[in-house]
Amino acid sequence: MTTSDYFVILVRKSIDRFHHNALFSNELIAAFAHRNWRGKVLDYIEEPKAILHALQDPYCKFFLAFNGFGTELKVTTTDPGRLYSAFEEYRKPVLDLMHDCPLHETMAHQLDSTHTARKLFITDYRYAEMALDLGVKNVTFVSSIVFPHTFKSFSRSKQRDIDVLFAVGLSLPGDVQNRYDSSRFKSRIFSTIFDEVTEKCGREWPRDPAVELKATMRDLGIWFDCSDFDHRFLLTTVLDFVKFDRRQRMLTAANDLPITLISDQEISQNKQRKGMTFLKQRSATDILKLMAQSKIVLCPTTHMTGYHERPLGAFSAGAAVISAPCAPLEAHFSHGRDVFFYSNMDEMRKYLEILLADRSLISGVGEAGKITANRFFPPKLLVDTMLNSMRTWPSP
């Protein structure tokens, strides 16, 4: 590596509504800088000439993408009518940090990104298995990160004016269910599977909807095929329904407690809920600022086998975290000391009431969670994993 060497982070600002990629880019660039790597951010839709220059530039050593966006870039070659991976053609690794389900329909852009130039770092081990089934050749399960560089830029205040922060999208689960076409025989079968799985997961929160779906299909003699469009649609709708349904249940269970709700829904639709303060949706960085002003952060934690930005952001802020079941978090954080885990709505409400009644407990849990999070999930560990992978990774 020379002082002229650098890497490029690929973003697509037009679809990054709440600037999650901007938040992660700033944090990772700072962490890479500690390892003497210089990074720059380019929008691969708005800045195609700059992307091509970086691909051709010998000083640009690798690219970094989020959730597969950008890994699908192709270029023409000497073969007429054929397009090839831009990263394979120019022999540039692309490191892909993914948080979401690779089989979800919103990830369709990266279904063909199975070339050897792509290295997938995925923060959910169930999703890592799905990526391997999809044919992705280089997959590594990694922890996500806390945000020390971002918090250093905030003005410090010891005052925490928000009792409970609940930042979440509130799409209606019924809208997902309505996507099934009852006129198709296959759709009616899948709708029945959908109903059975979502009903189970609604009763018992420790159930993983992806696991329940595959088990239910196996019982019916159907083997889940990640290459099948209908199977991916079934998985997408199950994951979305369970996510939206659980959020609505949480809101109902805590509707009379002093909760500050940040939602993508119009505030007027929620005025019937007493005891809550409503704020419009805002950027990921601004949500972190609100976490720093919050005593408690309530987390749905929909990735039951992976890391999620919401609890790790709350740990970074030193807020007391109340989280749904999540195996990786349960492996590092101690219930009652660093965090409170709930498995149903009665438990969630009980822990909210316990913490709200004991400010010293809030402070102790928040501080313990912050120490644990900073110890196990600093950005430099993820950066080291990425850099190590390139040392042992065959050239594309």
Concatenated DSSP letters of 335-367:
BTTTBEE-SSHHHHHHHHHHHHT-HHHHHHHHH
Distance (Å, whole) CA 388 – CA 393: 9
Q: Which of 176, 194, 303, 191 has its CA nearest to residue 241?
A: 176
The band of 269, judged by pLDDT with boundaries at 50, 70 and 90, is: low
Q: Which of 237, 210, 201, 215 has its CA nearest to residue 344?
A: 201
The pLDDT value recorded for residue 396 is 61
The pLDDT value recorded for residue 2 is 64
State whether 229 and 368 are in the same domain: yes
State whether 23 and 108 are in the same domain: yes
Q: Does position 54 have pLDDT exceeding 90, yes or no?
A: yes
Among 108-112, 332-336, 379-383, the least confident range: 108-112
Domain count, the chain: 2
* Side-chain-facing half-sphere of 27: CA atoms under 13 Å: 27
State whether 308 and 163 are in the same domain: yes
Residue 237 inside a domain? The answer is yes
* pLDDT tens-digit map of 290-346: 999 999 999 997 788 999 999 999 999 999 999 998 999 999 999 999 999 999 999
Q: Which of 69, 71, 9 has its CA nearest to residue 39?
A: 9
Q: Which residue has the higher pLDDT, 385 or 172?
A: 385
* pLDDT tens-digit map of 237-254: 999 999 999 999 999 999
- Say if residues 389 and 119 touch (Cβ distance below 8 Å): yes
The pLDDT value recorded for residue 156 is 73
The band of 266, judged by pLDDT with boundaries at 50, 70 and 90, is: low
State whether 134 and 195 are in the same domain: no
| Backbone φ, ψ for residue 78 (5° rounding) | -70, -15
* pLDDT tens-digit map of 122-135: 999 999 999 999 99
Distance (Å, whole) CA 285 – CA 147: 10
**CATH at 116:** 3.40.50.2300
**CATH at 263:** 3.40.50.2000
Partners of 98 in beta bridges = 122
Between helices 309-317 and 359-376, what is the axis angle to 10°?
110
SS3 sequence of 290-341? HHCCEEEEEECCCCCCECCHHHHHHHHHCCEEEECCCHHHHHHCCECCCEEE
- Say if residues 101 and 68 touch (Cβ distance below 8 Å): no
The band of 255, judged by pLDDT with boundaries at 50, 70 and 90, is: confident
Q: 73-109 as b/e, with b when 16 or more CB fall inside 10 Å? A: beeeeeeeeeeebbbbbbebbbbbbbbbbbbbeebee
Which residues touch 280 (CB under 8 Å, ≥6 apart)? 262, 263, 267
Residue 220 inside a domain? The answer is yes
Distance (Å, whole) CA 368 – CA 66: 30
The band of 395, judged by pLDDT with boundaries at 50, 70 and 90, is: low
H or E element that contains 148: helix 148-152
- Say if residues 194 and 217 touch (Cβ distance below 8 Å): no
State whether 131 and 177 are in the same domain: no
CA separation, residue 182 to residues 45, 174, 192, 200, 231 (Å): 38, 15, 11, 22, 16
| Three-state secondary-structure class, residue 142 | coil
Residue 112 inside a domain? The answer is yes
The pLDDT value recorded for residue 171 is 84
Residue 1 inside a domain? The answer is no
State whether 201 and 324 are in the same domain: yes
- Say if residues 300 and 263 touch (Cβ distance below 8 Å): no
Distance (Å, whole) CA 247 – CA 257: 16
For the record, the structure tokens of 65 come out as: 């993408």
The pLDDT value recorded for residue 356 is 96
The pLDDT value recorded for residue 302 is 73
State whether 136 and 195 are in the same domain: no
State whether 102 and 179 are in the same domain: no
The pLDDT value recorded for residue 186 is 77
First CA to last CA distance, the chain: 19
State whether 192 and 328 are in the same domain: yes
Distance (Å, whole) CA 6 – CA 57: 10
State whether 120 and 241 are in the same domain: no
State whether 186 and 124 are in the same domain: no
Q: Is the pTM of this model over 0.85?
A: yes
Residue 136 inside a domain? The answer is yes
The pLDDT value recorded for residue 82 is 82
Among 104-118, 171-185, 332-346, the least confident range: 171-185
Partners of 280 in beta bridges = 263
Q: Which residue has the higher pLDDT, 83 or 99?
A: 99
Counting residues of the chain whose pLDDT is more than 70, the rounded percentage is 96
Q: Which residue has the higher pLDDT, 267 or 29?
A: 29
The band of 158, judged by pLDDT with boundaries at 50, 70 and 90, is: confident
Distance (Å, whole) CA 96 – CA 261: 32
Distance (Å, whole) CA 285 – CA 296: 18
The band of 181, judged by pLDDT with boundaries at 50, 70 and 90, is: confident
Q: Does position 229 have pLDDT exceeding 70, yes or no?
A: yes
State whether 220 and 130 are in the same domain: no
Structural domain range at position 242: 151-376
Mean of the per-residue pLDDT values of the chain: 92
Q: Does position 270 have pLDDT exceeding 70, yes or no?
A: no
Q: Does position 373 have pLDDT exceeding 70, yes or no?
A: yes
- Residue 249 one-letter amino acid: R
Residue 321 inside a domain? The answer is yes
The band of 224, judged by pLDDT with boundaries at 50, 70 and 90, is: very high
Residue 183 inside a domain? The answer is yes
Q: Does position 268 have pLDDT exceeding 60, yes or no?
A: no
For the record, the structure tokens of 370 come out as: 């912050």
Residue 128 inside a domain? The answer is yes
**How far is C-alpha 255 from the chain's CA centre?**
26
The pLDDT value recorded for residue 273 is 65
Q: Does position 32 have pLDDT exceeding 60, yes or no?
A: yes
